[in-house]
Amino acid sequence: MASVPGLRVVLLVSGSVLLTLLLGFGLPVLLNAGMWLLGIPETSVTECIVGLYLMFVVSVAMPRIPRGCIKVEGKAVLITGCDRGFGLGLAKHLHKLGFTVFAGCLLKDEGGEGAKELEEMRSERMKVLQMDVCSEEQTERAVESIRLNLGDTVLWAVVNNAGVASFGEVEFTSIDTYRQVYEVNLIGTIRITKAVLPLIRRAKGRVVNIASLYGRMGNIMRSSYCVSKYGVEAFSDCLRYEMKTWGVKVSVIEPGNFIQATGVLTRDIVTNTSLKLWAEAPPCVQEDYGKVHFEQQMALMRSFCSSGQKDMAPVLNDITDAVTSKWPYTRYSPAEPHWWIRAQFMTHLPSAVSDLLYF
Ligand SMILES: NC(=O)c1ccc[n+]([C@@H]2O[C@H](COP(=O)([O-])OP(=O)(O)OC[C@H]3O[C@@H](n4cnc5c(N)ncnc54)[C@H](OP(=O)(O)O)[C@@H]3O)[C@@H](O)[C@H]2O)c1
Ligand SMILES: *[C@@H]1O[C@H](CO)[C@@H](O)[C@H](O)[C@H]1NC(C)=O
């Protein structure tokens, strides 16, 4: 995050030199052996390497292959967490594309800004619903209202977007915090999905769950968030297998760092939360970790708030693709290159190697 320690640079450089040597000397030998086994002249090895390399370049650099678009007319979408951030942006975006949008807002009944903005559009196709994804009662009422308001449209997709951010080292995170984050991010996603699945199943529609790259890799200070987002990934995978026979496609969106685009975490929130974290930590944890270390970690979190992408368009475009493409992808990872590479390393390299690189 802040400065890159020398050790990491040395590891990265020696890692890439090793990889170059391996690919430069090891791969031809391996391919030669393979060719020899297959009885193909060994001179084809160069072509093989060029071919492999081309495949790699194509897979990394290719723009998305056009996969056709579904008809938007007569289709409705439910989005949760539309008070602000991705949810609010997506509600407006999908409405503009012609969908009927059911926008679930946590603060509709309290006169929240986002709900007001959407209601003031005064569109037949924009319906704002009071919806705390943690409330069974509000969910039931919202789904009833969707059923009554569908008219000639079908409920084509649900976008489980509502979520909260959290941070703090394990020993500074209370069981209550683990529960609260998990209640919204994971149980909320499961609750809403189950509530609307009968409608979506009959429309052979889509479930789109907003996880995070933190649903695929862990980090220090993010355990409560990672636990909830890994859960979203697991739920989405299992649901995808079950929904295959029903013709319902399930996609996961794994954004990298869009903190500045949505304001999900701000320096103020970090400062306020840090006071609470320190105050609630057991005395022995305060003593052993020390205030200096704690403040360093919080400074790191604050600097994290000023990093990341400022434009949420990549996330909205990926969600839109998952909702509208005839052949949506299973996973979308809108992220800056260094985040994407980190996620690739952490999910594909042996943990012993990725641990050395990043921790
Ligand atoms: N921004 C990023 O960098 C990033 C990266 C990866 C993943 N994500 C995920 O993307 C999703 C949207 O995040 P965002 O950045 O747009 O955050 P955001 O701006 O805070 O928006 C989240 C929305 O969810 C709402 N919400 C919170 N608890 C809720 C509940 N119990 N029921 C219904 N709605 C609730 C919030 O309401 P209030 O406004 O009242 O709090 C807010 O409107 C989240 O799932 C988040 O984890 C974000
Ligand atoms: C942080 O705490 C201060 C003082 O209690 C309060 O005025 C402010 O609104 C809080 N900020 C956030 C983002 O919660």
- 14 and 101 in one domain? no
Domain end position, chosen among 35, 61, 87: 61
Bridge partners of 154, per DSSP, are 75
User: In angstroms, rounded to a whole number, what is the distance separating the alpha carbons of residues 280 and 137?
Assistant: 32
Given this model, what pLDDT does residue 1 score?
A: 39
What's the mean per-residue pLDDT of the chain?
93
Q: What pLDDT does residue 133 have?
A: 98
Question: Of 13 and 261, which is predicted with more confidence?
Answer: 261
Residues 85 and 128 reside in one and the same domain? yes
CATH number at residue 205: 3.40.50.720
**Residue (of 96, 94, 119, 116) closest to 107 by Cα position:** 116
Which residue would you say has higher pLDDT here, 21 or 80? 80
Signed CA dihedral, 264, 270, 274, 276: sign only: negative
Which candidate in 182, 214, 225, 332 is catalytic?
225
Which of 25-29, 132-136, 140-144, 160-164 is predicted with the least confidence, judged by mean pLDDT?
Answer: 25-29
Same domain for 259 and 225, yes or no, is: yes
Give the pLDDT of residue 5: 67
Residues 81 and 205 in one domain: yes
Contact residues of ligand 1, CB 6 A cut-off: 80-81, 83-87, 106-107, 131-134, 161-164, 184, 188, 210, 212, 255, 257-259, 262-264
Classify strands 154-160 and 331-332 as parallel, antiparallel or unpaired: unpaired
114 and 32 housed in the same domain? no
Contact 347, 217 (CB under 8 A): yes
Say if CB 227 and CB 178 are below 8 A apart. Answer: yes
3-class DSSP assignment, residue 301 = helix
pLDDT of residue 44: 66
Instruction: Return phi, psi of residue 78, to 5°.
Output: -105, 130
262 to each of 64, 88, 114, 359, how far by Cα in Å?
Answer: 25, 10, 13, 28
Mean pLDDT of 318-342: 95
Span from the CA of 32 to the centroid of ligand 1 (angstroms) = 53
User: Residue 27 domain-assigned?
Assistant: yes
Identify whether the C-beta of residue 138 lies closer than 8 Å to the C-beta of residue 104. no
For residues 218-246, average pLDDT? 98
The predicted structure's pLDDT at residue 49:
73
Which one-letter amino acid corresponds to residue 197?
A: L
Best residue for ligand 1 mutational test, from 262, 265, 301, 342 (most atoms within 8 Å of Cβ): 262
Lowest mean pLDDT among 26-35, 230-239, 329-338: 26-35
CB 207 within 8 A of CB 77: no
Please state the separation of Cα 124 from the chain's center in Å.
31
Whether residue 117 sits in one domain with residue 23: no
Core vs surface per residue 31-68: b (16+ CB within 10 A) or e: beeebeeeeeeeeebeebeeeeeeeeeeeeeeeeeeee
> d(Cα 324, Cα 264) in Å, to the nearest integer?
26
Query: How many structural domains comprise the chain?
Result: 2
Residue 357 has pLDDT above 50, yes or no: yes
Structure tokens that stand for 13 in this block: 């450089």
> pLDDT digit string (tens) for 87-100?
999 999 999 999 99
In a domain, 293, yes or no: no
Which residues constitute the domain of residue 316? 75-265+305-358
Looking at residues 116-139, what average pLDDT do you find? 98
Please indicate, yes or no, if residue 66 is contained in any of the structural domains: no
Question: Quick one: 85 and 53 in the same domain?
Answer: no
Question: Residue 75: beta bridge partners?
Answer: 154
279 within domain boundaries = no
225 is catalytic: yes
* pLDDT tens, position by position, 50-73: 777 787 777 777 778 889 999 999
What does the pLDDT look like over 37-54, one tens digit per residue?
Answer: 877 776 666 777 777 778
Residue 2 has pLDDT above 50, yes or no: no
Percent of the chain scoring above 90 in pLDDT: 81
One domain, residues 13 and 91: no
Residue 305 tokens, joined? 């708030």
pLDDT at site 31? 77
- Ligand 2 site residues (CB inside 6 A) read 268-269, 272
Is the distance from CB of 60 to CB of 73 less than 8 angstroms?
no
Return d(Cα 146, Cα 85) in angstroms, integer: 23
240 and 346 fall within a common domain: yes
79, 206: one domain: yes
191 and 115 housed in the same domain: yes
What is the distance, to the nearest Å, from the Cα of residue 47 to the centroid of all Cα atoms in its chain? 38
CA distance 43 to 46: 7
Q: In this structure, what token pair is assigned to residue 291?
A: 């205030």
Return the ligand 2 atom nearest residue 266 CA.
Answer: 13
First to last CA, the chain: 12
- Give mean pLDDT, residues 226-246: 98
State the average pLDDT over residues 15-19: 83
Name the one residue in this structure whose structure tokens are 């500045």: 260
pLDDT digits 0-9 by tens, 291-303: 999 999 999 999 9
Tracing tokens 């604050």 back to the chain, one arrives at 302
Chain segment 155-193, per-residue pLDDT in tens: 999 999 999 999 999 999 999 999 999 999 999 999 999
Alpha carbon distance 356, 346 (integer Å): 11
